[in-house]
Amino acid sequence: MTKHSPHSNRLLPTLLWGNSIALAWVWGLGLFFSVQFTVDFGFIGLLIFVMLNCCGLFLFGFVTNQIARRSEGSESLGNFFKQWSRPFRLAFFLYQILAITLTIFALIRYAWQPLHFEPNLLYLPLTTLVILAGSILFGEEFNIRRIKYSHGVLFLILALAVGVILAHAGSAYFNGLCVPGRLSTHNLNFYGYLVPICIGFLIGPWLDLQQWQRAIEIRRENLSITASYACGAVVFGALLLFHGTLALWALSGGAGHFLHTGIAGYTYSEDLLTRVFSAVSSTSPWIFGAYMTFLVVCGLTTLDSGYIALRWFLKSNANRSSHPIFSLIPSWFLTSPILPFIFCGVVALSAAALELELEYFMIFYATFFVGYEALSIGRAFMNGPASVIPQVKMFCIGSLAVVIFSYGYFLHQSIFQILGSLMPLGYVFWLMLKPMASEDFTPGNEELEETTIAERPRLVSTMSAPLTTLPSSNGLAYSIAGHFEGKWFVHTFIATYADTNSVGNVYFGMYAMWVGKTRELFFNQVMPKFNLKETPYYILTRSFEHKFVRETREFETVTVRIRVASYNRKFVTLEHEIHDSEGHLLGKGNQGLLFVSSTNYKMLDIPQDIVTAFMVHA
């Protein structure tokens, strides 16, 4: 019997994933704008458009593969995404909603409306309903583990449609390669498109839930993410080249009269091929049917992927949230993508009825989301936890970029289009590199509720006296939350009846409880912004030792002192002492701390913010 090598066993799944990656990325933006960009700037413009798209897709796969290899196990990338994506959840959701809306809109506007079926009031809602129903049906039928097989079958249908079209066009298909674009590639107008496209396509996949879900699943199947995305980039590039060159072929046959002028005097050509094949539908129905099949498959494989990815995203966020509102709302309402899809359909239908253009949606991908994408990439490689991002700042800079780009587009001032795309990118660099940058990425209280370490002694000296008359060793009154005396953190309190046993002595177990409480107050003092719900690590007790020296009774003033005794790369040792009001030693001991990941409980090196907070007291 012949044995198959491991490489041959992995080749087919890799190719299937590559195909699914490509089909999920051929959404309204790439599918129809490839025609627009090709008509405007010719075959050179098409090649640039394809290369930027393919590079962005491949780089996403290559980088996520490196991230997945940081930790062992098939869940390494999934665990990373759970922690890393928390601050960007709103951006992920908006990105996905806009992508779904854009794709539905493009199918209505450029695949249906050019057919001129009347009345629009009847046919447009029905067409939208068909698109939504088909997307939801396929999304419910195939989950992320099975979608590569359904996309494999759909690719065969797609390849058959492409074959029929190429057979009809014949050798004349390549004549279009010599057709010049309407606009020159040597002026500022070209760069007004090129710069936004370059930025948007190179980093665009980082906010696409469909691509993240695929990369995580590929890792779970122990396949190479890099190889799968390299295959996907090739398939995707081939589809765009076919579609763009088909537009040039149509122009070479005299289809220029199908172009139409829209708002601000721009000439739009996204529906060029639909109009061309619709014009010959009576004489060549097979060609018309093949092209419509091509558009439908490309749209369907994006929308069913969007449905599955959105369901995965909504379920994971609902499961992780502890907000009381989630106990009042049915879970299906929170986790089903049907309502978001209906919302997308309504918006797309309204935009198509108003005869808007694809570029109006694309502006957001060239401006608003650029900052979030750049920041997400930066946070993936920066040390230290990022529990929040400056949402208000990011929204403002994104909105400002949208407005500036829009002015440039409608006023035909390309320099403003370039500026609008570069602004969010430049702001993110400033946000991450400026002094005190870490303050933008950690949660904090309102300014009126915050006090700095330097302010606390003065605040305590004026406020804690009415609360307690317990003196410290230097004769001053301190907050009941504890204070520092040199390297020691000191907590003073009065033992009560609840601390004693049946004969009136303090129960032996209470000494460990007192040390634990003092340790928590110490943590709160040195790390006031620590948030247990969003921390990427947990602090665990490795060992605890205590030597009992003498006893104490109720109503005795007790002081617990704790400090950092030693540390290495993995562990921290805390030392403690317990004294009574006369300074007698009641007991002493030490405890060891270790640090584990909050997602998979694997042991970590001492986190950087622990080093910053703890070691100044060592």
| 544-555 residue pLDDT tens | 999 998 888 888
Residue range 94-111: mean pLDDT, rounded: 95
Mean pLDDT of the chain: 85
Query: Which pLDDT value is given to residue 12?
Result: 92
Q: According to the model, what pLDDT value does residue 92 have?
A: 95
- Model confidence at 467, in pLDDT bands (50, 70, 90)? very low
Q: Copy the structure tokens of residue 457.
A: 């002694």
pLDDT at 242: 95
Please confirm whether the linkage preceding 119 is cis (ω < 30° from 0). Answer: yes
Could you give the C-alpha distances from 612 to 36, 204, 395, 526, 607, in angstroms and in order?
Answer: 54, 35, 31, 9, 9
Say how far apart CA 372 and CA 394 lie, in whole Å: 7
Compute, in degrees rounded to 10, the torsion defined by CA atoms 397, 389, 363, 367: 50
pLDDT at residue number 232: 96
What pLDDT does 447 receive? 40
Q: How confident is the model at residue 469 (pLDDT cuts 50, 70, 90)?
A: very low
As given in the structure block, the two tokens for residue 460 are: 């305590």
pLDDT band at 263 (very low <50, low <70, confident <90, very high): confident
pLDDT at 162 over 70: yes
Averaged over 330-354, what is the pLDDT?
A: 89
- Whole-Å CA distances, 363 to 30, 107, 439: 14, 19, 31
- Amino acid 431: pLDDT: 86
Higher pLDDT, 443 or 182: 182
The pLDDT-based confidence of 321 (bands split at 50, 70, 90) is low
Encoding tokens for residue 367?
Answer: 């401006």
Is the CB of residue 163 less than 8 Å from the CB of residue 386?
Answer: no
Rounded CA-CA distance 395/371 in Å is 9
AA identity, residue 250: A
- Asked if 311 and 93 touch (Cβ cutoff 8 Å), the reply is no
Residue 612's pLDDT band (cuts 50, 70, 90): confident
Side chain identity at residue 481, one-letter code: A
Tokens of 195: 């710069």
The two three-digit tokens of residue 91, written as one number: 């951006």
pLDDT higher at 478 or 507? 507
Q: What is the bridge-based pairing of β-strands 557-567 and 572-580?
A: antiparallel
Q: What is the pLDDT of residue 441?
A: 67
In CATH, what class is 451-617? alpha beta
Could you tell me the two tokens for 136?
A: 């939801």
326: left (phi over 0), alpha (psi -120 to 50) or beta: alpha
How large is the average pLDDT for residues 162-191? 88
pTM of the model: 0.72
- Domain limits, the chain: 8-366, 367-442, 451-617
| The pLDDT value given to residue 2 | 46
User: 383: Cβ–Cβ under 8 A, 6 or more apart, which residues?
Assistant: 608
Q: What is the pLDDT of residue 29?
A: 80
End-to-end CA distance of the chain: 67
Question: Which has more pLDDT, 287 or 183?
Answer: 287
Quickly list H helices, 186-284: 188-203, 209-220, 225-252, 272-279
Q: Given this model, what pLDDT does residue 501 score?
A: 83
Take residue 404 and report the two structure tokens written for it. Answer: 């500036």
Q: Which top CATH class is 8-366?
A: mainly alpha
- Please check the confidence at residue 475 and state whether its pLDDT lies above 80: no
Residue 313, pLDDT above cutoff 50: yes
pLDDT of residue 515: 92
Q: What is the pLDDT of residue 7?
A: 55
pLDDT in tens, 11-67: 999 999 999 999 999 987 888 999 999 999 999 999 999 999 999 999 999 999 999
Residue 1 has pLDDT above 60, yes or no: no
Same fold, 8-366 and 451-617: no
pLDDT of residue 383: 56
Does residue 457 have a cis peptide bond before it, meaning omega lies within 30 degrees of 0? no
- Work out the angle between the directed axes of helices 414-433 and 368-381 (0-180°, nearest 10): 30
Say whether 245 sits in a helix, a strand or coil: helix
Q: Does the pLDDT at position 167 exceed 90?
A: yes
Residue 95, SS3 per DSSP: helix
Instruction: Provide the token pair at 68.
Output: 């997945």
Q: Are 595 and 608 spatial neighbours (Cβ–Cβ below 8 Å)?
A: no
pLDDT at 479: 61
Q: How many residues are given for the chain?
A: 618
Structure-token pair, residue 42? 């010719």
Q: What is the pLDDT of residues 382-413, one digit of tens each?
A: 755 456 788 899 999 999 999 999 999 999 99
Residue 547 φ/ψ, nearest 5 degrees: -110, 120
Cβ atoms of 393 and 363 closer than 8 Å: no
- Cα(32)–Cα(107) distance, integer angstroms: 9
Confidence of residue 276 (pLDDT cuts 50, 70, 90): very high
| Cβ–Cβ under 8 Å, residues 109 and 352 | yes
Q: What is the Cα–Cα distance from 579 to 587, expressed in whole angstroms?
A: 7
Q: How far apart are CA 257 and CA 352, in angstroms?
A: 22
Radius of gyration for the alpha carbons in the chain, expressed in angstroms and rounded? 31
